[in-house]
């Protein structure tokens, strides 16, 4: 009896210890042997090069975290997606392999996949918590959903994304209840727009208006003498300082420094026509023949883990599709993670990303922009 009592005590103590293990630590305990071998090889490579969105906070935080966790020097090229894509493509054609991975939006990602610039992702996945589709809202969602190669992983899904901002000293939110309100003579020469002729956040909202409002509406919008730019920070600066009253296609991460500085900028309430479900800068890819393959494998698995997704979501203020990542705090910022707000069926109805929507909506809308914007 004494032995059985002692065993029972040991069992309960062990159970208590297990119950107090942090989920991230428990995940580490389940890591396969391949992880340790890959990590050792990655540390010998010593470096990883990643194309990332133009978000200073992301670059500032990602460099030390990859160094501290894995001993990797991270070279992060922070630039608009089309600029990074152009560099990747030109280097590839010159026979140069420099970039390992990229975090981008839909248009840039699909364009690179179509041009044969990317590696299939699945062979790089190691961790069970990453590979298991049951860990993800909607299962595994591939940006290139018309392909069987699976080059691009879509890891974010938001509903009420903030792609439209206004200067509160120049605009009252009740003046912007519908897309039609932007056609008022009051806003002529006072609307900024991320250039919709190239893959961009501007093309995203432009294509949504193309789909729900039609080409005649967009012709009238262009007659408002839009201030076009491919520099999102320039647009954020312009609306913050009153150079324009409203701007389209600027994400929360680009606007955040101006919000924190107390400048009079606010997101426009969703118009009556609604806004699309988006994945923002929420597409992950691997560049063809990455020069640091083991470091790339370590990064991909960490980034898509619970820890990595929670970290990225908090830095960029977007909602991960991982079911074990808390995203309800985003509502205070006016953003709803899709998994917290709508059904999967509704998400697929209103989304404006993934390759099918890109091909049928984004591409023709972008071509239309080229014909009327000179």
Domain that holds residue 214: 164-275+364-372
* pLDDT on residue 162: 61
Mean pLDDT of 1-12: 49
Tell me, yes or no, whether 254 lies in a domain: yes
Q: How many CA atoms lie within 13 A of 46 on its CB side?
A: 1
Same domain? 182 vs 127: no
Whole-number Å distance between alpha carbons of 300 and 309 = 11
Tell me, yes or no, whether 357 lies in a domain: no
- Mean pLDDT, the chain, integer: 90
Tell me, yes or no, whether 169 lies in a domain: yes
The dihedral built from the CA positions of residue 146, 347, 195 and 104, taken in this order, carries a sign that is negative
Distances, alpha carbon 243 to alpha carbons 3, 85, 190, 191, in Å: 80, 30, 7, 9
Task: Report pLDDT digits (tens) over 44-55.
Answer: 999 999 999 988
Same domain? 46 vs 128: yes
Distances, alpha carbon 118 to alpha carbons 30, 92, 109, 286, in Å: 29, 10, 9, 6
Tell me, yes or no, whether 18 lies in a domain: no
* pLDDT on residue 253: 77
The CATH number of the domain where 85 resides is what? Answer: 3.40.190.10
Mean pLDDT of 299-308: 98
**pLDDT bucket at 76, cuts 50 / 70 / 90:** very high
224, two tokens: 């408002």
Same domain? 190 vs 313: no
Same domain? 50 vs 92: yes
> How many structural domains is the chain composed of?
2
Same domain? 184 vs 318: no
Listed range (83-87, 115-119, 275-279) with the worst mean pLDDT: 275-279
Helix (H, G, I), strand (E, B) or coil at 89: helix
Tell me, yes or no, whether 82 lies in a domain: yes
Same domain? 267 vs 283: no
Whether pLDDT at 11 is above 90: no
Same domain? 175 vs 249: yes
Same domain? 210 vs 314: no
* pLDDT on residue 363: 92
**Cα–Cα nearest to 278, from 193, 361, 161:** 161
Q: 298, 38 in Cβ contact below 8 A?
A: yes
β-pairing verdict for 227-229 and 47-52 = unpaired
Mean pLDDT of 109-115: 91
Same domain? 62 vs 135: yes
Highest mean pLDDT among 85-94, 187-196, 247-256: 187-196
Same domain? 63 vs 135: yes
Same domain? 170 vs 144: no
Tell me, yes or no, whether 9 lies in a domain: no
Mean pLDDT of 8-14: 45
Q: 209, 172 in Cβ contact below 8 A?
A: no
Give Dmax (Cα) for the chain.
Answer: 89
Same domain? 257 vs 300: no
Mean pLDDT of 337-351: 93
Mean pLDDT of 90-101: 93
Listed range (9-13, 108-112, 268-272) with the worst mean pLDDT: 9-13
Tell me, yes or no, whether 347 lies in a domain: no
Tell me, yes or no, whether 14 lies in a domain: no
Mean pLDDT of 297-316: 97
Mean pLDDT of 287-308: 98
């Amino acid at each position: 009896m004494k032995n059985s009592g002692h065993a029972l005590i040991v069992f309960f103590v062990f159970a208590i210890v297990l119950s107090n293990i942090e989920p991230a630590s428990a995940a580490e305990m389940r890591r396969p042997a391949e992880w340790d071998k890959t990590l050792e090889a990655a540390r010998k490579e010593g470096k990883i090069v990643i194309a990332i969105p133009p978000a200073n906070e992301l670059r500032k935080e990602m460099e030390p975290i990859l160094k501290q966790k894995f001993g990797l020097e991270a070279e992060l090229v922070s630039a608009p997606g089309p600029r990074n894509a152009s560099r990747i493509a030109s280097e590839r054609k010159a026979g140069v392999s420099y970039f390992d991975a990229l975090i981008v939006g839909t248009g840039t990602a699909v364009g690179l996949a179509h041009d044969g610039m990317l590696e299939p992702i699945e062979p790089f996945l190691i961790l069970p918590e990453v590979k298991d589709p049951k860990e993800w809202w909607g299962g595994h969602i591939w940006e290139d959903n018309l392909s069987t190669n699976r080059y691009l992983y879509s890891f974010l899904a938001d509903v009420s994304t903030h792609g439209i901002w206004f200067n509160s000293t120049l605009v009252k939110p009740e003046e912007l209840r519908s897309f039609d309100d932007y056609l008022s003579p009051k806003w002529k020469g006072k609307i900024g727009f991320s250039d919709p002729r190239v893959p961009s956040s501007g093309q995203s909202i432009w294509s949504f208006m193309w789909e729900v409002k039609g080409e005649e509406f967009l012709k009238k919008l262009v007659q408002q003498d839009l201030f076009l730019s491919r520099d999102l920070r320039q647009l954020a600066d312009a609306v913050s300082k009153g150079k324009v009253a409203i701007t389209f296609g600027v994400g929360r991460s680009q606007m955040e420094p101006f919000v924190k500085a107390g400048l009079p900028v606010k997101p426009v309430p969703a118009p009556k026509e609604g806004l699309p479900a988006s994945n923002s800068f929420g597409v992950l890819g691997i560049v063809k023949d990455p020069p640091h393959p083991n470091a790339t494998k370590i990064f991909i698995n960490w980034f898509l883990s619970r820890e990595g997704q929670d970290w990225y979501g908090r830095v960029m203020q977007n909602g991960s599709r991982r079911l074990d990542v808390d995203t309800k705090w985003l509502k205070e910022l006016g953003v709803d993670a899709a998994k917290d707000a709508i059904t999967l069926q509704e998400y697929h109805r209103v989304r404006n990303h993934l390759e099918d929507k890109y091909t049928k909506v984004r591409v023709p809308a972008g071509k239309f922009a080229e014909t009327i914007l000179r």
